[in-house]
Chain A
Amino acid sequence: MFSYSVVGAELYTGDMIFVMLSFVVLVFLISLVAWKPITKMMNDRANKISSDIDSAEQARTQANELAQKRQAELDNTRNEVSGIINDAKESGQQQRDQIIGKAHEEVTNMKATAEKDIEQQRQEALANSRKDVASLSIDIASKIISKEINETDQQALVDSYIEGLGKQNESR
């Protein structure tokens, strides 16, 4: 009925409609089953790759910045440390000088006081010994004299001694 003859073959219209329909259905099914998920996944992957590249770039610049910062801080710290060490050396030197100076001073002071003490003690000892010698000689003298002199003489001697004491007191 609707058949035509082209190059010796029969063209059946029913076949045409059937082929069209089946092809359209096939396209629809492929779209449903494979095309949509696969293109979505490919798009997602493309996006992920580009975002990964971006983030990697970012991370690299960040790392560079951090490295620079770290280097700068390291230099800074090194400078500070050498400053601190110099300061410490200087202050140590100062302290040492101070301590030595003080010690010198103390030593001279101590020497002076010691000398003074020694002098004083020597004086005192000298005075004491003089006193002792005097009293001793008096004792000895009085013992010798008491054996030889009588009452009157002794009286006279005591008087003269007292007189002498009074004179000594006056002369003082």
Chain B
Amino acid sequence: MGQPTSTFQFLGLTFNLANIISVLVACLIVFLLVFGLSRHISMRPGKGQNVLEAIVDFTNGIVKSSIPGEASKSLGLWAFSLFLFILISNLLGLFLHVDISGVTYVKSPTADPVVTLTLSLLTLTGAQFLGIESLGYKGHFTNYLKPFKPFIIVNIFEEFTNFLTLGLRLFGNIFSGEMLLSMITSMAVKGGPLMWVVMFPVEMAWQAFSVFLGCIQAYVFVTLASVYISRKIELEE
């Protein structure tokens, strides 16, 4: 990563303080957002409820487009939470980046591979469970033998590549965005007042692009995750 981080040991596990604080902040923001929007829920929606319902419809649409039938209903909550968490995590680092004496404490949680790979692991492990739940052990594991038996190597390998690509795609996009942002900032700070003036619109433009990228990546992550799940809960022909 290059950046120095503060770590501590607890119960024999290593914790990165920057990740923990960032994830907590992101969770808090998501919770407060959802909590604030879900007050006064009524038959005639108010402003907050309208926004919340739009997001719910959006994530439900993502899930329904790849998972047909009843299974999509139970995954709505999962898609909604995942989308909001990744979205807020992507945007968090754009306006909140806390460095104290060179040690990062708050940044985008998704700019760290640990967080993104954890989310991807969570999703794909869930997909395995859902696959067993809907097809049974036999149906689930015979899916690995399709279209014919030697494909088991490809199929198992695919599970790992899915896990890595899903997590690292998100990480790469957000990390590179933040990196460029901090480079622009350091150039502006070190280059004197003239450089500061020149770099200001560049920074603004890159921030805007990062916001766009963060939204796209959150959408892509949820879409791909639901596609992976849909492949697990359906019998392959």
Query: CB within 8 Å of B: which residues of A?
Result: 1-3, 6-20, 22-23, 25-27, 29-31, 33-35, 37-39, 41-42, 44-45, 48
Contact = CB atoms under 8 A, between A and B. Distances in A.
Contacts of A34: 34-35, 37-38, 52
B27 interface: yes
A14 B14 contact: yes
A1 B41 contact: no
Given A11-B117, A15-B15, A41-B43, A20 B122 contact: yes
Interface string B141-166: 00000000000000000000000000
Contacts of B213: none
Contact of B115 (A15, A38, A41): A15
B119 A30 contact: no
B196 interface: no
B107 to A, nearest CB: 13
B95 to A, nearest CB: 21
Contacts of B80: 30, 35
Contacts of B173: none
Given A2-B12, A12-B14, A33 B35 contact: yes
B43 A11 contact: no
15 contacts: A1-B13, A2-B12, A12-B14, A12-B19, A15-B15, A15-B114, A15-B115, A19-B115, A22-B27, A23-B122, A30-B77, A31-B81, A35-B77, A38-B53, A42-B53
A24 B160 CA distance: 23
B56 A10 contact: no
A15 B53 contact: no
B30 interface: yes
A33 B34 contact: yes
A60 B58 CA distance: 35
Contacts of A10: 1, 14, 16
Chain B contact surface mostly? helix
Contacts of A38: 38, 41, 49, 52-53, 56
Interface of B: 1, 7, 9-16, 19-20, 23-24, 27, 30-31, 34-35, 37-38, 41-43, 49, 52-53, 56, 76-78, 80-81, 84-85, 109, 112-115, 117-119, 121-122, 168
Contact of B81 (A12, A26, A45): A26
B1 A9 contact: yes
A92 to B, nearest CB: 66
Best-buried of A2, A3, A8, A35 by chain B (most CB within 10 Å):
A35
Contacts of B30: 26, 30
Nearest to B5: A10
Nearest to A8: B1
A15 B52 contact: no
A27 B78 contact: yes
A149 B12 CA distance: 196
A12 B24 contact: no
Contacts of A12: 7, 13-16, 19, 114
A41 B52 CA distance: 12
Nearest to A3: B14
Contacts of A7: 113, 168
A30 B34 CA distance: 7
A146 to B, nearest CB: 138
A128 to B, nearest CB: 114
A16 B118 CA distance: 6
Given A1-B12, A17-B13, A37 B20 contact: no
A45 B41 CA distance: 12
